[in-house]
Amino acid sequence: MSVRVASDRAHEVDRFAETVAAAVARHPTADPWRPGAAASDVLPQLEAALAAAGWDELAEDPELIGFVAPAAAELGRGFASLRPIDRLLGGALAVGGRLARYAAAGDRLVTPRAGRLELASAEQVSAVAYADSLHVASVEAARPEAAVEGPLAAARMRSWVAGSVGYLAGVCQEGLRLTLEHTRSRVAFGRPLAALEPVQQTLADAAALVEGLRLMTLDEPGADELAYAGDAAVRALSSCQQLTGALGFTLEFPLQRAYRRVRASRAWTDAALESWEAS
């Protein structure tokens, strides 16, 4: 690939990410979750805007894989629904044979298993109270459909993996931004928190993890990167919550939303990867 072609490609990737960021800004996602609730953060207006921008084409064309992670990072920055990421698989993500996220009766369920995507039509689901707004449901009955195999299954899974890494990177970037804002404005011992050496050390550790996640989005992140990203995201935002103290756990401060999202995401991505790679 020539330097000119590579430059043009990078420009196109940046423009698509900017388009997604603009859609997120126009359609901010509220957080409907409360302790013990079964909640959904799906925003149809945002999903329609993404579809109009060409989001659903990302999983069908291998040439577009490089667009996925940077665009997904913009969804993460806005704490948007994860359903657009799961749409890259072709339906609602299901794991363990019983749980699915963003699933309702009549929806197509997609279970990554042993290098293929097993499809089913949800016939009966029951909402599950969950620690995040992922519209998690217990699948009581589903009608099997033909599985997606071969190159198409691999392409969709690659897109979903890249999107999941990008999303985690974006959530952590926003979480770190919120933490920096807090430590610069909060005064302790006559100085901003950010001026205290222990705080600076913790901020540096979190920033290093977040920068590593951001750098992953510049290439095509794979399964190994996703396995690392889930743990790195949790560690980075754990440090952020340590620095914000009790405020970071309150529903009024959005950092708790970032932390809940990465904890929940790690559980789902780990389960999906393990199932996909099973022999």
Domains plus CATH for the chain? 3-87 (no CATH), 92-149 (no CATH), 152-277 (1.20.140.10)
Output the six-digit token pair for 241: 């919550």
Distance CA 164, CA 170 (A): 10
Cβ distance 152 to 55 under 8 Å? no
Which tokens in the block code for residue 120? 């089913």
**Distance (Å, whole) CA 142 – CA 123:** 5
Looking at residue 94, its pLDDT comes to: 97
Q: What pLDDT sits at residue 7?
A: 72
pLDDT in the model for residue 191: 87
Longest dimension (CA), the chain: 66
Residue with tokens 């996909």: 276
Residue stretches of the chain with pLDDT short of 70 = 1-6, 279
Give the per-residue pLDDT at 253.
Answer: 94
Q: What is the pTM of this model?
A: 0.95
Give the integer Cα–Cα distance in Å for 12 and 93: 29
